[in-house]
Structure 1
Amino acid sequence: MPHRLSPMLQPGSIAMIGASNDPKRIGGMPLDLLKHFGYQGRVYPVNPKYGDVFGYRCYPDIESVPAAPDLVVLAIGAADVTAMLRRCRAHGARAAIVYAAGFAEMGGEGAALQEELEAFARESGMPVAGPNCMGFANLNTHAYTAFASVFRNVEPQPGAGRASLVTQSGNVCSTVFALMRQLGVTVSHFINTGNEACVEFSEYLEYLAQDGDSDCVVGYIEQLRDGQRFIEAALAFAEAGKPMIMYKAGQTEKGSEAVRSHTSALAGNMALYEAAFRQLNVIQGQDFTQMADLAWLSGFRQRQGGKRVAIVTLSGALGAILADKFIGAGMDVPTLPDQVQQALRDGIPDYGMVSNPVDVTGNIVNNPDFVRSVFTALASTDAIDTVVVYATGALLDRMAEPLLEVCAAHPRLFVAIDTGKATCRARLAEGGIPVFTDIGRAAQALPAFCHWLDGRAGVARWAELRKSGAAAPVARELAQLDEYRTKLLLSEFGVPPVAEAPAVDANAAVEAAVRIGYPVVLKILSADIAHKTEAGGVRLNLQDEAAVRTAFHEILAAARAHAPEARLQGVLVQAMSKGVAELIAGVTRDPVFGAALTVGLGGVLTELYRDVSHRLLPVDEHSATEMLRSIKAYPLLDGFRGRPKADVAAAAGAVAALSRAALALGEEVAEIEVNPLQVRQSGAVAIDALLLTR
């Protein structure tokens, strides 16, 4: 079934409302491009001032156009847009693009105009791109609807395009397009989204995921309006084996929204975008040149590569430089197995390194056939995924034939770096070997591409987990849960609480302490007091009955003074417990991506260090273990400097249980936080917990 954006992105006929015969005006430039590039569909300029425009018959109004157009492009003022759209729809038009600015971005009257436009789109079901949009281009069908001069300024494409652009900025779209064309990347779709009043960014991604002419997508995002739709589109790209390369602008975090829980402060807006990109195996672009390089590399995605890299050079210094750069970008440069090193040593003198990087030395010039043996050995070992060959000019030319032969026989990803002027670059690329001409660009683009290659299995696994974890929420009474009842609820899903009991008076507190065993902790019990320490509501290491009685009265007095209106349920008596480490684990609801889980180092310095890992839900034990291993403080769980080892499996189980609880309790829950989650040598327990409803 055709996608609803097909008439917009693959139109068989185009009407231009507000047509001009001036190729420098926005109503004329697209018509000039359609004529110049030989668009084979029907073109209907509309303007009562002209009889013909660029050789096309011009019509006085949309009603005079002899057939219903697939796409109408409106080059008219904002105030006239919606009325004209109604006329176009009545004439049978299937989709529209609105150039005009002066809508919601202007506020006031402009916002009212956009509301009117959105209402029309809802009522009619007609896809309307923009407003405040520079138009599109389908370069395979030559359907140019963009008023962009860049198409005239770049080398014409020799054949069908394979990469697509979708951006929330027209200038970015033009800039990255030009960079991609400089690299010889052919482009299928050129899309900028404008205000997204009626068609949101991720709907374009949906279309491109199923588009046979889009092998990858390069995008620029300022704000996603539909995070769930973006997730679905990214998973569709992943399932199709197509890279998604996205630059996210904006580094500010929504820390001002963090009112009651630490988790909200840690799960800032940008942090969750980055976490979502990693989880969905979306490549996060660092700059426009790198994004163009990645689009170019996507043409080699069928090769079998990954982040374990072998480096082959004729220079020890270059080997060291590349190793530093790749390792700094998260790649591995593993020591090669002994048998591989021995095979390399047969032709490499003793002063040449064979462990990795591999320094074949200038001696290779005297024995060029040995190059084939080097490449074959590296293509055959399971110890690496990717081979990077640094050789300049004529030296790379001498290596080209054996390199092509080995790549034809083995699927391993080989990448060359030539900072000279080798004549074999085009032949290598045709044989599946990308050639970089700059070390810095190679060191920035190749690791990102290799991480994408490695990440394909992980995103497929999460997609399956997401399907299996889509159970309906369980209705619960969640309003105003105190700490004790919160932990009881979480324990039903597998989050173990520390030994504890509530007490409404001092006698009950003493009885609970005796049952639990001294020493104990007393904490104020109130659904209205989230941060107990600040309220003077915590007493630690109480050794006997007298200490418990005194602490009970002190805690209640301090709580009443701190929060006179708070409802006090007494105190919570807990075992004075010590573990190997303390973590924070919490679920928040991000306005873009929905429920997300944060895990990190616990304690009072949590927000300062921000040593945390984020994941979109669901999270299972496997994902939770990955999260724990990714934080810098993980060595504290793994026996750092003779410390006892923590029960990481129990910690991961508790984190996964928190994910299950959040999904089961549904969207009524705004936040759940366990802080700290105490991890012991055996087991993990929730020491404190907080649940906030919407």
Structure 2
Amino acid sequence: MTAVTNMALDGLVAASSVAVIGASDDPRRIGGRPVAYMRQRGFSGDILPVNPGRSTVQGLTAYESVEALPYAPDTAIVAVPAAHVPSVIDTLGKRRVRSAVVFSSGFAEVGPEGMRAQQDLLALAKSHGMRLLGPNTMGLYNERIGYYPTFSTSFESGWPLAGRIGIASQSGAFAAHIFTSARERRIGVPVCITTGNESDVTLGEAMQWLVQDPETDVIAVYAEGLRDAASFLAALEAAHAARKPVVLMKTGRSAVGSSAAQSHTSAIAGDDSVLNAVLAEYGVVRARSAEEFLDIAHLATRRIYPASNTLGVLSISGGAGVLISDTCEDLGLPLPEMPTSAQRQLKALIPFASVRNPVDCTAQVLNDLPVVGKFAEAIVGQGGYKSILNFFTQAGGTASVAPELLRQLSQVQERYPDRLFAMSVIGSSECTDRYEAAGITVFSDPTRAVVAIEAMGKFGDAFAKPLLKTGKAHGTSPALPRATLNEAEAKRWLTDAGVKCVLEEVAVDTESAVAAAERMGYPVVLKILSPDIAHKSEIGGVLLNIEDSDDVRAGVDLLIERAASFAPGAHIDGVLVARQVNDAMECIVGVHRDPLFGPVLMFGLGGILVEVMTDVVLHRCPVDYPTAVEMVRSIRGIPLLEGARGKPPRDIDALASTLVQLSSLAVAVGPNLQSIELNPVLVLARGEGAFAADALVVMNSTEGRNDKN
């Protein structure tokens, strides 16, 4: 992937000089707010207002035109009506201004005519070598240097706080909601980039700037629809390499939400299940709400990401312990029991304490706070938990308890700097700030704390393993097939690519069908063979348990009769005679080309299970063997493949090899391939193999497809 360098966007995000085209003397107007904000925040660079009707703007020398500017600034803010934007960009380009933040709306977000105007604007900017943020963007801010090329009203109520979180957002209004909420929660978000229509600078490029910024540790992303998968994936890859966690909030999951996102951002929302698979591949955590978004980002600034995470809980409430346990179970966060020796030790301190985990030391400890330190030491030191959650509710926020409680917990934390400490207390901002300053992140709600702690483990697990290098096929692929294949042709093509299929022969008449069945041995399966019959089973075009030659003859006649009745115009290539495989587990393996992320591999249990339970897993192609095994073992139905209820364990190794071969083939074939589906893949006992019993191949060159059960 092509990396985005800091220099590519530095002129936009960290400018040392800025022109404001359409600058207003009124600090409340769109063209006046950037000037006012930068003056208030002490921007040390030059601010060059352009306003033909004024000699000064907000006390600064104003210039009649772009041509009148004393020099070419790093960037320009464009705050003029849409009709005037092209001439402004052209003039800026001629002055060799290398970037512009275009506030103006009236482009792709308003429809086809606006899209054409936006495309023309981009072509004009490219002709000058300019980068555009927007149009229809709220802009950005960089509080570290007092730089505010934005018109957001949120700064009337306060300024962003210092911190290590950076926001990249397609929506300006929602970004304002997030950083205003962060400020109210005293969470530092000093940099935010909103991309608007993304005519040029993409969400992925904004993310990459934040990844490469040494003062940003956590990347918080809001997306409505991804326009450029390549820059997005490059940013995720760079974040993984830099061990910088990405928390993402993506709207448009529902049909209604997806439609709204498209109309608002002129972007393709994409397949949400595919996006989730891609995010999981890179260890990105997806937040479900704005509150959760900030919870996770805030805790991530501790920069403690425990792989194979476990949680130890110290509580003064048994009820809270149960609530925390339920949340852990829902999320799959392990809550191991305390060692027996540690339980005895804690029982000696408070005989009526519950000491398994969660550890309920009861309110008794409030009478003797040093006991808290002993409990915490046992939990962390002997329990060995990667993360620790302390629940002390309002008691932990009172003046009589908080100072000594903090001292006791801090002493333990200092001895175990690699552990993640969180606290659930309710208290004044001054009190919770003291916990935060000591490195103990505070949550008022313990369930929110558990969600954030579980997310830190996901980051840790992702950082602990290298990324699979996707995008290149392993080996070579056979020649591309024509668009419409019957089942036999599809399987021959797949076999040439290394995908194992059930033994079968094509018979053009009754006697050749009998001869084929005799050669492979009974029982056999008979299928009508036609490129024009997409779903054979729906017309009775598949016959099982054919036991002898008489059954073959009767079966061939029946298949031809049914085809003539239910699909009279279909071209019949004959009958497929296949060896019947009994005592096999049915699975489904497929590839579908996603419009954003390319070929995506799918695996699940076959037959009715895939339709009713949708117990499937996805991964971008290609996958290597360990990833394929991980995919197989990640489905809920894995006990059926491992040998549940006395059945023999299945050949997971052979099944994983099928996934590897099919995913590699999909990449090698390229964009002409729309989909491949093997359903079912018959998985035999361990060591006996896995074989595709049916195959569907769909090419993009036409709408035709091969025969399919």
**Distance in 2 separating the partners of 1:365 and 1:281:** 40
Question: Would the alpha carbon gap of residues 425 and 108 (structure 1) be closer, same or farther in structure 2, given more than 3 Å must change?
Answer: closer
1:594-629 CA deviation, whole Å, 9 max, x = no partner? 111111121145334322111112222322233233
Query: In structure 1, which of residues 104, 108, 117 is the aligned counterpart of residue 121 of structure 2?
Result: 117
**Distance in 2 separating the partners of 1:656 and 1:471:** 9
2:634 equivalent in structure 1: 630
Q: Per the alignment, in what secondary structure is the counterpart of residue 350 of structure 2? A: coil
1:262 equivalent in structure 2: none
Q: Deviation of residue 17 (structure 1)?
A: 0.7
Q: Deviation of residue 95 (structure 1)?
A: 0.2
Q: Which range is displaced more, 396-405 or 664-673?
A: 396-405
Q: Per the alignment, in what secondary structure is the counterpart of residue 533 of structure 1? A: helix
**Distance in 2 separating the partners of 1:209 and 1:472:** 34
Does residue 128 of the first structure (1) align with residue 132 of the second (2)?
yes
Q: Deviation of residue 194 (structure 1)?
A: 1.1
Q: Describe how 1:42-61 pairs up with structure 2 within 5 A.
A: 42-61=46-65
Q: Per the alignment, in what secondary structure is the counterpart of residue 191 of structure 1? A: strand
Specify the code of the residue in structure 2 equivalent to 1:359.
D
Q: Per the alignment, in what secondary structure is the counterpart of residue 432 of structure 1? A: coil
1:693 equivalent in structure 2: 699
Q: Deviation of residue 141 (structure 1)?
A: 1.1
1:259 equivalent in structure 2: none
1:437 equivalent in structure 2: 444
Q: Deviation of residue 450 (structure 1)?
A: 2.9
1:577-601 CA deviation, whole Å, 9 max, x = no partner? 1234211111111011111111112
**Distance in 2 separating the partners of 1:3 and 1:492:** 48
2:210 equivalent in structure 1: 208
Query: In structure 2, which of residues 450, 453, 456 is the aligned counterpart of residue 449 of structure 1?
Result: 456
Q: Deviation of residue 253 (structure 1)?
A: 6.0
Does residue 236 of the first structure (1) align with residue 238 of the second (2)?
yes
1:14 equivalent in structure 2: 18
Q: Describe how 1:380-459 pairs up with structure 2 within 5 A.
A: 380-381=381-382, 384-391=385-392, 392-393=395-396, 394=398, 395=401, 397-410=403-416, 411-420=418-427, 425-458=432-465
Q: Deviation of residue 268 (structure 1)?
A: 7.7
Counterpart contact for 2:141–2:147, Cα < 8 Å: yes
2:284 equivalent in structure 1: 282
Counterpart contact for 1:500–1:575, Cα < 8 Å: yes
Question: Would the alpha carbon gap of residues 307 and 675 (structure 1) be closer, same or farther in structure 2, given more than 3 Å must change?
Answer: same
**Distance in 1 separating the partners of 2:160 and 2:280:** 35
**Distance in 2 separating the partners of 1:477 and 1:382:** 58
Does residue 500 of the first structure (1) align with residue 501 of the second (2)?
no
Counterpart contact for 2:480–2:669, Cα < 8 Å: no
Q: Per the alignment, in what secondary structure is the counterpart of residue 140 of structure 1? A: helix
1:115-155 CA deviation, whole Å, 9 max, x = no partner? 21122133333111111111111111111110012123125
Specify the code of the residue in structure 1 equivalent to 2:361.
V
1:260 equivalent in structure 2: none
**Distance in 1 separating the partners of 2:497 and 2:116:** 48
Q: Deviation of residue 433 (structure 1)?
A: 1.8
1:198 equivalent in structure 2: 200
**Distance in 1 separating the partners of 2:568 and 2:305:** 67
Q: Per the alignment, in what secondary structure is the counterpart of residue 309 of structure 2? A: coil
Q: Per the alignment, in what secondary structure is the counterpart of residue 493 of structure 2? A: helix
Counterpart contact for 1:303–1:432, Cα < 8 Å: no
2:704 equivalent in structure 1: none
**Distance in 2 separating the partners of 1:471 and 1:654:** 13
Q: Deviation of residue 561 (structure 1)?
A: 4.5
Question: Would the alpha carbon gap of residues 222 and 21 (structure 1) be closer, same or farther in structure 2, given more than 3 Å must change?
Answer: same
Q: Deviation of residue 564 (structure 1)?
A: 4.7
Question: Would the alpha carbon gap of residues 3 and 482 (structure 1) be closer, same or farther in structure 2, given more than 3 Å must change?
Answer: farther
Specify the code of the residue in structure 2 equivalent to 1:57.
T
Q: Per the alignment, in what secondary structure is the counterpart of residue 250 of structure 1? A: coil
**Distance in 2 separating the partners of 1:598 and 1:131:** 38
2:249 equivalent in structure 1: 247
Q: Describe how 1:485-634 pairs up with structure 2 within 5 A.
A: 485-604=489-608, 606-634=610-638
1:41-83 CA deviation, whole Å, 9 max, x = no partner? 1111001111111111000000000010111111111111112
1:263 equivalent in structure 2: none
Question: Would the alpha carbon gap of residues 475 and 199 (structure 1) be closer, same or farther in structure 2, given more than 3 Å must change?
Answer: farther
Counterpart contact for 2:478–2:496, Cα < 8 Å: no
Q: How many residue pairs end up in the alignment?
A: 676
Q: Deviation of residue 345 (structure 1)?
A: 3.3
1:617-664 CA deviation, whole Å, 9 max, x = no partner? 222232223323332222322333444432333322222222122223
Specify the code of the residue in structure 1 equivalent to 2:445.
D
Q: Describe how 1:87-166 pairs up with structure 2 within 5 A.
A: 87-155=91-159, 157=161, 159=162, 161-166=163-168
Which ranges in structure 2 are unaligned for 5 or more consecutive residues? 259-268, 701-709
Query: In structure 2, which of residues 167, 170, 173 is the aligned counterpart of residue 168 of structure 1?
Result: 170
**Distance in 1 separating the partners of 2:94 and 2:478:** 47
Question: Normalising by structure 1, what TM-score?
Answer: 0.92
Q: Deviation of residue 476 (structure 1)?
A: 1.3
Q: Which range is displaced more, 577-586 or 296-305?
A: 296-305
Query: In structure 2, which of residues 655, 668, 690 is the aligned counterpart of residue 684 of structure 1?
Result: 690
Does residue 478 of the first structure (1) align with residue 478 of the second (2)?
no
1:516-573 CA deviation, whole Å, 9 max, x = no partner? 2111101122334332212432111111111112222322343344445544322221
1:62 equivalent in structure 2: 66
**Distance in 1 separating the partners of 2:425 and 2:119:** 55
Question: Would the alpha carbon gap of residues 229 and 554 (structure 1) be closer, same or farther in structure 2, given more than 3 Å must change?
Answer: farther
Q: Per the alignment, in what secondary structure is the counterpart of residue 76 of structure 2? A: strand
Identity of aligned residues (%): 36
**Distance in 1 separating the partners of 2:92 and 2:159:** 36
1:90-119 CA deviation, whole Å, 9 max, x = no partner? 012110111111112222432331121122
**Distance in 2 separating the partners of 1:580 and 1:540:** 14
Q: Per the alignment, in what secondary structure is the counterpart of residue 355 of structure 1? A: coil
**Distance in 2 separating the partners of 1:381 and 1:485:** 63
Q: Per the alignment, in what secondary structure is the counterpart of residue 22 of structure 1? A: coil
Q: Which range is displaced more, 321-330 or 417-426?
A: 417-426
Counterpart contact for 1:524–1:532, Cα < 8 Å: yes
Question: Would the alpha carbon gap of residues 225 and 561 (structure 1) be closer, same or farther in structure 2, given more than 3 Å must change?
Answer: farther
Counterpart contact for 1:168–1:193, Cα < 8 Å: yes
Specify the code of the residue in structure 1 equivalent to 2:326.
D
**Distance in 2 separating the partners of 1:149 and 1:457:** 42
2:361 equivalent in structure 1: 360
2:219 equivalent in structure 1: 217
Q: Deviation of residue 473 (structure 1)?
A: 5.8
Q: Per the alignment, in what secondary structure is the counterpart of residue 586 of structure 2? A: strand
Q: Per the alignment, in what secondary structure is the counterpart of residue 230 of structure 2? A: helix
Q: Per the alignment, in what secondary structure is the counterpart of residue 539 of structure 1? A: strand
Counterpart contact for 2:270–2:595, Cα < 8 Å: no
Q: Deviation of residue 443 (structure 1)?
A: 3.6
Q: Which range is displaced more, 587-596 or 369-378?
A: 369-378
Query: In structure 1, which of residues 174, 185, 188 is the aligned counterpart of residue 187 of structure 2?
Result: 185
Counterpart contact for 2:604–2:610, Cα < 8 Å: yes
1:443-493 CA deviation, whole Å, 9 max, x = no partner? 4333223322333224x242xx438x5658646132133323333333345
Specify the code of the residue in structure 2 equivalent to 1:354.
V
| CA RMSD after TM alignment | 2.5
**Distance in 2 separating the partners of 1:65 and 1:488:** 69
**Distance in 1 separating the partners of 2:598 and 2:255:** 16
Does residue 374 of the first structure (1) align with residue 375 of the second (2)?
yes
Q: Per the alignment, in what secondary structure is the counterpart of residue 534 of structure 1? A: helix
**Distance in 2 separating the partners of 1:485 and 1:420:** 71
Specify the code of the residue in structure 1 equivalent to 2:554.
T
Counterpart contact for 1:396–1:422, Cα < 8 Å: no
Question: Would the alpha carbon gap of residues 348 and 643 (structure 1) be closer, same or farther in structure 2, given more than 3 Å must change?
Answer: farther
**Distance in 2 separating the partners of 1:113 and 1:542:** 66
Q: Per the alignment, in what secondary structure is the counterpart of residue 658 of structure 1? A: helix
